[in-house]
Structure 1
């Protein structure tokens, strides 16, 4: 039941309060259990959480879905082993969930943080803590609030519990105050996001690349002339070899000259055994001024880790015929429109990629993405939620463009001020603020929250070890 409640809080649903309820039930169910029982409880809760939230993977590769479901469930169960099941140690439950989210964001193959517990909290009161400690702090506060409710009911030490809850609420309130400050404005940007539309449920490797480009071009013909930026989605262009001097590049250059805007296009450059997934910027004069190549690739989507081994288990060539070349450096485009932070598609789920762009000077964050492979709204909605969380964490407007949706315009406070439908051809325009300030989280990253979670989980074992050492210490002889 606890896992089902946690799953119910995930996008596209907005029932943020279900996560604290799930954490409360999870805490209650773990109290007094031996380690083997906690392991079983973790497996059952993990299955109930991940089975519905990863089901969108079944259409891609059923065996891959089963493998990922098993791995994520095992990670959840191992996190529950770290919990101290005594009522007085209730806060080890949210600490274990924070540690779990941190691990999932880094393992396996660089991390797979979908779904992320924090993404269900964007419409709740504790999301305002994101500028202080990022999504991990939001997870800790939301699940800690639920665990505290259980502690108040079963633990006799209510004063201490209320004190911990009070501190948590104060941290959340401080985050909301910090997020509301407007002391780092660098002007504004008039942007147009072009969503060409088209059918969904078609993997990128078999899509009609020319048709995708043509839809983008046609919809851009009537763009106004008062724009600073035009953003096209990931995979808007697909070319063989470098994009420079191709006919596709000439069409984008013409658009830039006609609108007098910087045009940023997500494109794919194919080679014999590899491809490059890039965001390329054309200046108002029609010349390419900068480019960024995707650093954090999608495992089994853009490359096959240990390809020879995994292809011996399953035919993956049709799914991923060639591997993406990993990019380098921060996601920053130097353009006439200003320094633009950029992350491509999957990278929006990783705060470190956005952090590198912001620290490098990005005043707004662009997310060219392609969610056309999915038939349901779950992945596009989850991606918008991730973009909202990144906006909150770093106090930056986020502009996300997808060929078939969701395309979204998100303000630095995480509010969505414009969002497209799915499959429809649409152009979203807005004036968004440019920012230069640095939030606390932009300066520190996940380190402080991870340190608190680790100390919380290690406190009981260390105390037990110290007590054992004291008992074994030989007594002193009086004189």
Structure 2
């Protein structure tokens, strides 16, 4: 089980050895095979402590107690995966038994997909950063993202590992089904057309500004991020259609349009004759603020704004603040609560089509990008920060999430971070530009615009969740038959 947990960790970004996730799934199943429920539970707990203990260690940059709590929660979820994984008694090296459902080997992949679905939604609206699906952005299963999103990508990768187990220890009928599954899982996704269901609608000349500076800064406003990004923007030549700056690089009291800081961005947009998008935080009273991205047009006038909908729990607001404040020092890191945004996730610049937008943490949630695309966004802007993290784990996971979202929805994604990673990602999920960490950089490219919706953009996770329910019902029926 320790080996399985380690393989899963090695598969995740920034290591990204995608093939180790299906291999880890096979190791996970073999560790549980033939075990009674009690042993499966403690083995699942062991795997969870090892895997999440390594995968979430970046949380220790903020809070040791929070790190332990999150590892415990994620471990508990993996224990449930181990509990429901279909374990059939082992005899002479062969998995056998009376009334065994031929699809017994599907239960573990289904449980791992359900684990990801739960992580996308629980707790406090979801915590998907440790999702195993992010390990697959460079693998062949990524091709299935426009059809079934990250859940299908994860499911196909896990299915391949489970099929490997079935090929070794299953009955002849099971081995035949497993062989067909492997062939389909590996061959079909790469054959899916890029950005299926969408159509090209032109190009856009874009520039991304990364100001650079120290990492591990918990409050980006403690450095002069505004000046650094305005200084970096001096290197922009010509008049691009769009200039994108990162999340939270300007901090003001009240609406930024009435401040000298806002005037500096207006002057930049006017000088370049471009649409300029800038991430700001606007204090509202002593205990609240707005995390917004604002759009200045080529004449220096404010054309629109988007305020972050999906806030970071314990990062941008404290859930149950009245209860938490007396028990922890988290109020030092989160002295104010962000106000949840409202309205469509789209900006409408001058002279170019509408642009969808998500801010930072929202990139991890497909429903927020779906909202941007359904509102008419022909590309997706993803201003972010990630400057609080000393290592590369979270920035790398965020790039993986942006690549997955690009592939799912058939849209270019432009990611801008003050100290990296900033990235330009094509609608097929391929990276065309990637910045360094801590460096001052300008990324620029002519990027494709697209209209229309992929099958996943239309249907979301509903088909995959229905399939999971079907597998769960078949597994329960098989267990009842064994009990007779």
TM-score of the alignment, normalized to the shorter chain, above 0.5: yes
The counterpart of 1:223, out of the listed 210, 227, 236, is: 236
User: Shift of residue 171 of structure 1?
Assistant: 4.1
- Match of 1:11, SS state, is coil
User: Shift of residue 85 of structure 1?
Assistant: 1.3
4+ residue segments displaced more than 4 Å: 180-183, 463-468
User: Shift of residue 31 of structure 1?
Assistant: 1.6
1:83-98 alignment runs, 5 A limit: 83-86=85-88, 87=95, 88=102, 89-98=104-113
Counterparts of 2:146 and 2:397 in 1: how far apart (Å)?
20
Partner of 2:329: 315
Partner of 2:264: 251
The counterpart of 1:292, out of the listed 306, 310, 324, is: 306
Contact 1:188 1:432 in 2 (8 A): yes
- Match of 1:103, SS state, is helix
Change (3 A) 1:183 1:134: closer
- Match of 2:467, SS state, is helix
Is residue 379 from structure 1 mapped to residue 379 from structure 2 by the alignment?
no
Change (3 A) 1:192 1:299: same
The counterpart of 1:432, out of the listed 444, 447, 467, is: 447
Is residue 29 from structure 1 mapped to residue 31 from structure 2 by the alignment?
yes
- Match of 2:453, SS state, is coil
The counterpart of 2:51, out of the listed 46, 49, 52, is: 49
User: Shift of residue 219 of structure 1?
Assistant: 1.2
- Match of 2:446, SS state, is strand
Partner of 1:5: 7
Partner of 2:185: 168
The counterpart of 1:241, out of the listed 236, 254, 276, is: 254
- Match of 2:314, SS state, is coil
Number of residue-to-residue matches in the alignment: 465
Counterparts of 1:380 and 1:440 in 2: how far apart (Å)?
28
Is residue 127 from structure 1 mapped to residue 129 from structure 2 by the alignment?
no
Counterparts of 1:460 and 1:427 in 2: how far apart (Å)?
53
1:356-395 alignment runs, 5 A limit: 356-395=371-410
Deviations 1:289-340 (A, max 9, x none): 1111001100000000001111222122211001000012331112213211
Counterparts of 1:159 and 1:282 in 2: how far apart (Å)?
60
Partner of 2:213: 198
User: Shift of residue 183 of structure 1?
Assistant: 5.7
Is residue 421 from structure 1 mapped to residue 423 from structure 2 by the alignment?
no
1:56-71 alignment runs, 5 A limit: 56-71=58-73
User: Shift of residue 467 of structure 1?
Assistant: 9.2
Counterparts of 2:370 and 2:299 in 1: how far apart (Å)?
30
The counterpart of 1:328, out of the listed 319, 337, 342, is: 342
Contact 2:411 2:427 in 1 (8 A): yes
User: Shift of residue 385 of structure 1?
Assistant: 0.7
User: Shift of residue 226 of structure 1?
Assistant: 2.7
Counterparts of 2:182 and 2:54 in 1: how far apart (Å)?
31
Contact 1:193 1:427 in 2 (8 A): yes
1:110-125 alignment runs, 5 A limit: 110-125=125-140
TM-score by length of 2: 0.93
Partner of 1:14: 16
Counterparts of 2:481 and 2:170 in 1: how far apart (Å)?
25
Counterparts of 1:53 and 1:448 in 2: how far apart (Å)?
29
Deviations 1:386-440 (A, max 9, x none): 1000001001000000000011111111111111111111111111000102111
Deviations 1:142-182 (A, max 9, x none): 01101100111001131222233334335424xx4222659
Counterparts of 2:343 and 2:466 in 1: how far apart (Å)?
27
Contact 2:26 2:165 in 1 (8 A): yes
The answer to which of 148-157 and 457-466 deviates more is 457-466
- Match of 2:258, SS state, is coil
Contact 1:274 1:324 in 2 (8 A): yes
Q: Any unmatched runs of 5+ in structure 1?
A: 472-479
Contact 1:91 1:144 in 2 (8 A): yes
Counterparts of 1:15 and 1:183 in 2: how far apart (Å)?
30
- Match of 1:454, SS state, is helix
- Match of 2:192, SS state, is helix
- Match of 1:251, SS state, is helix
